Amino acid sequence: MLIYAFRDARGTWYGDPDAAVHDIRPGRGVLRLSPTAPGQAPGLFDGQQVEVLYAACDLEASQTSYRLDDGASYVATWHVHELLSPAYHRPLTAPAAVQGAATATVKLETGSPHRRYSLHADLLAAGRVEITIVVCTPDGDIHGELTGEMDVRDLDEVSRLIVSAPIAPAVKPTSSAASAAPVKATGHGQAWTPEAVAYLKEHYRAGKSPEQLAEELGRSKKSIRWKLYGLKLAPYPSDLVPDPRPAAEPETPKAYTVETKRRLHPNAYKPWQPEDEQRLAERCAQGASLPELSQEFGRNEGAVASRLLKIQAEGPAADEALEFGG
């Protein structure tokens, strides 16, 4: 079970509210976030109370769990954790030992099922920093790059400026023929492209119904309605929000930790890298069994089975994964 989306007090959803889940209805709960710790830059949601959605899904899990008001704890997806974590919004500062002639390097990486984001910062002399940001696919195809140098004292304000900037993709006028052929989603939970968003805005304003747009964009009607609400083009779809579940019995604290799990499976809860997935597919095709792959990749059989199904591997282990339940 993963926390894959949350809503703030203004009713705005964050994370992946349109993600495909394996449950009939996702679970709902309330999460109270701690205030900003002394000496730290504030996170976007510090001190707030948010409503979360959690369910079994195929999104990438982080290594951090959050305790809800009802006492239940769930691991968050990387996307949700990055938004809630104050450390994610903390500006870079040059350590005292680096001021002057010495240099240091800071590397950060995050991502989603469709994108990877990496930041490489070299702290230079005289309080300056050189930053390179790269956006690429999980397979390594680069989609964007940003490089620059500035004074570290300016990073905080620059980061706030970027976060608050109302940047929207520029939509150029298109012919009716081009406008009639949007890029359809190829799978449930696929990220919205700028072209698909532009098409949705244009044709909804032109009078098309969510049912028509769902058919033309290859998405569910529910996904279209949530997106229209997020774009402030339609009212809040309250009829799509599941009823709260009855209060659950307090769960018995788990008798294990991440460290305990990693004594058995060294790579437990670690993100899968593209090279790992490629090697996994090759070993599956070579005839390795599910237990053998579990041992080789340092993960439990359930994690390996789920990944085999996700990458659509072929071989005996993939057949075992179907019986295992992924």
Which of 165-169, 242-246, 260-264 shows the lowest per-residue confidence on average (mean pLDDT)?
165-169
Which pLDDT does position 301 carry in this prediction?
Answer: 87
For range 119-145, the mean pLDDT? 77
Task: For 145-201, write each residue's pLDDT tens digit.
Answer: 787 888 888 887 887 777 766 655 544 444 443 444 446 766 656 778 888 888 988
For range 53-58, the mean pLDDT? 90
Which pLDDT does position 306 carry in this prediction?
Answer: 86
For range 258-276, the mean pLDDT? 83
For range 25-39, the mean pLDDT? 84
Which pLDDT does position 176 carry in this prediction?
Answer: 42
Which pLDDT does position 155 carry in this prediction?
Answer: 81
For range 270-282, the mean pLDDT? 91
Q: Which pTM does this prediction carry?
A: 0.31
Which pLDDT does position 255 carry in this prediction?
Answer: 58
pLDDT at 219 over 80: yes
Which pLDDT does position 181 carry in this prediction?
Answer: 44
Backbone angles phi, psi at 128, to 5 degrees: -110, 160
Task: For 293-324, write each residue's pLDDT tens digit.
Answer: 989 999 988 888 888 888 988 888 888 887 66
pLDDT at 101 over 90: no
Which pLDDT does position 322 carry in this prediction?
Answer: 76
Which pLDDT does position 173 carry in this prediction?
Answer: 46
Rounded-to-integer distance, Cα 120 and Cα 129, Å = 10
The whole-chain average pLDDT of the chain stands at 78
